[in-house]
Amino acid sequence: MSSLKQKCTNIADNHLFTKIIIGLIVVNAILVGLETYPYFAVNYSDWIYIADTILLWVFTIEIIIRFIGSSSIRAFFRDPWNIFDFLIVASGHLLVGAHYVTVLRVLRVLRVLRAISVIPSLRKIVNALILTIPSMGTIMLLLSIFFYIYAVIGTMLYSSIAPEYFGTLHDSLLSLFQVITLESWASGVMRPILGQAPSSWIYFVTFIVIGAFVIINLFVGVIVNNVEEAAREEQPTPTDIKLEEVQKELKEIKELLEKKSR
């Protein structure tokens, strides 16, 4: 049994094995792409079904190998990417008999995401992105409060003037998201309202200045900074390299001094 485990570890760490899996993910991606063309979906539905089943089973075997090859069950499930892989594949088996055709097809598409868990450099960058989420907690909270207050006020003031944009609280939230991306905020949203509520420009201009100019830029700044910092740890800047040289020099000087004082 231990030799099986050893074999599985060897296979899982093998470069060729990884490359084959990446290749199969690409095949899977092409398959789900072709399936969107009615011509293929109709004429080759059997072939697609067979290829899909084979892929599902190959991915299942791959995960079983990686599972056996890992040092322990806990070690395997401690890595969130393994859980992700497991869920993607397991749900493919569980739902196979079901009639949720759309769900099954979306699931097949999501298998393409496995590229992230298999290619190390992608995994690293996505990990860095996910790690920035907690550090953005405060800005996210600020953004949520800001959106909520403007959405409630917008619904209160403009629900009868522009029901398609501010009819209900969730309509308002979506419209404010549109406004914060600056898309048709004036031509589409504000100007029609402005005719009936001449002071509504205050609402939109303050929302854009605070939201789109300030908070969104803080949000983007935090994400980009954190990911760059993560990248920097591996590839230090010229400033950091020089500082390290300075630290080394200082250490040598100190040793020289201490030797003499002895």
For a second copy, give the closer residue by CB, 90 or 256.
256
CB of 157 to a second copy, least distance (A): 8
Which of 173, 141, 120, 9 lies closest to 75, judged by CA? 9
Which of 66, 108 has the CB closer to a second copy?
Answer: 108
**CB of residue 159 vs a second copy: minimum separation in angstroms?**
7
Please report how close the Cβ of residue 52 comes to a second copy at its closest, in angstroms.
14
Smallest gap from residue 160 Cβ to a second copy (A): 10
Q: Closer to a second copy at the Cβ: 93 or 254?
A: 254
The residue among 58 and 136 lying less far from a second copy, judged by its C-beta, is 136
Contacts of 224 (CB under 8 A, 6+ apart): none
Query: Distances in Å between the alpha carbon of 134 and those of 147, 148, 222, 223, 233?
Result: 20, 21, 11, 11, 19
Rounded CA Rg of the chain: 27
User: Nearer Cβ to a second copy, position 66 or 166?
Assistant: 166
- C-alpha span between 100 and 68 (Å, rounded): 32
Q: Are 144 and 108 in contact (CB under 8 A)?
A: no
Q: How far is the CB of 186 from a second copy (least distance, A)?
A: 4
Dihedral of CA atoms 227, 233, 239, 245 in degrees, nearest 10, equals 180
